[in-house]
Amino acid sequence: MWVGVDGGATKTEALVVDEARVLGFFRGGPSNHQGVGMDAAVREICRTVSGALHDAGVTMDAVQGATLGLAGADFPEDVTRLLDGVSTFFASIPVRVVNDSEIALYAGSERGWGIVAIAGTGGNVLGKTPDGLIRQVGGLGYEYGDYGSGIDMARDVLHHAFRSAELRGPQTLLEQVVLSTFGVPDFPTLSQAMYSQKIAPEAFLMLAPLCFQAARQQDAVAIDILRRQGVAIGESIVGCARLLHLQATAVDVVLAGSLWLGSAPHMRDALHAVVSRELPLARIELSELRPVAGAALMACPSSELRAALREDFRFRGVE
């Protein structure tokens, strides 16, 4: 049996699989050590794996290997610390820690290489060549050249809502969206609540999906936010392809993360325009499997087992 884990800023998921099927699944809380700290991250990873093992009705003794795809595993020192943290829990079982982008790529591309663009709470682009060379573009924040995530979208919604309310920018439906979300009558009240830290930081993430709703109502500001994010992520994909010399290759471009499932098409359309222009042979597709499925596939030792598991994932709707 093998274990796959997808650990991120808002949730952690674990799958237990055997040679051909899913045996157990469990979803836990956040495990990005950059947000919750290393000790809390390790505890949540172990708790989530324990939940999946319990769901499968097996113990750790039956596990032959595990792959952990973790947000925050950005540098070798991160991987070392995370491996050290889970070493007691997994004991002698072979464990591999990779960035969560890599398992998302594995879930979305049966070839196991290509480029993946994650757009969820956070954002990241990672590419892998057929011979295994990996290059990550971004994933560390705005200061590092990043733009295109739930955090960025929520910030933009808030920014433009304030500008609309204070007559500093174009009028937008996002103004009322923000007030309704936080249950306040006006923006001076919201300003005071934010300044006094009476609103939990994670609460602002609720604004990201509401941007799609406003765009569906043809709100120009919301549409512009979505388009700018799509363009920026498209540029990151193109940059990654250039760094890995994949411009003239029929490369799989996998879109993973909740923002790609948004109810308005503007973000996806903008990305398609950028990527198709610069990478004409690229195949752009939404991942049909959740990243945790990619982690489980990476943990399996043979291509035959991985092929059987993909079929079971599709049958069960692990997406």
Q: What is the CATH number of the domain that holds 31?
A: 3.30.420.40
What is the per-residue pLDDT for 86?
97
Is 98 within the bounds of a domain? no
pLDDT category, 222, cuts 50, 70, 90? very high
pLDDT category, 316, cuts 50, 70, 90? low
pLDDT digits (tens, 9 = 90+) for 85-131: 999 999 999 999 999 999 999 999 988 899 999 998 888 999 999 99
Q: Which of 35-39, 103-107, 135-139 has the lowest mean pLDDT?
A: 135-139
Tracing tokens 């929520």 back to the chain, one arrives at: 154
Are 269 and 133 within one domain?
yes
- Contact between 139 and 166 (Cβ < 8 Å): no
Question: Residue 120 corresponds to which tokens in the numbers above?
Answer: 């969820």
Is 198 within the bounds of a domain? yes
Is 147 within the bounds of a domain? yes
Are 119 and 216 within one domain?
yes
Are 215 and 275 within one domain?
yes
Is 8 within the bounds of a domain? yes
Are 133 and 274 within one domain?
yes
pLDDT category, 9, cuts 50, 70, 90? confident
Question: Residue 201 corresponds to which tokens in the numbers above?
Answer: 């930081």
Are 121 and 263 within one domain?
yes
Are 143 and 218 within one domain?
yes
Interstrand relation of 22-28 and 65-70 (parallel, antiparallel or unpaired): unpaired
Are 131 and 254 within one domain?
yes
Are 118 and 237 within one domain?
yes
Q: pLDDT higher for 246 or 305? A: 246
Question: Structural domain tally of the chain?
Answer: 2
CA distances from 143 to 122, 139, 147 (A): 14, 10, 9
Are 241 and 133 within one domain?
yes
Calpha distance 73→132 (Å, rounded) = 18
Are 241 and 305 within one domain?
no
**pLDDT of residue 250 exceeding 70:** yes
Q: Is the pTM of this model over 0.75?
A: yes
Is 103 within the bounds of a domain? no
Is 169 within the bounds of a domain? yes
Query: What average pLDDT does range 242-250 have in this prediction?
Result: 96
Structural domain boundaries, residue 247: 113-287
Are 296 and 282 within one domain?
no
Are 200 and 58 within one domain?
no
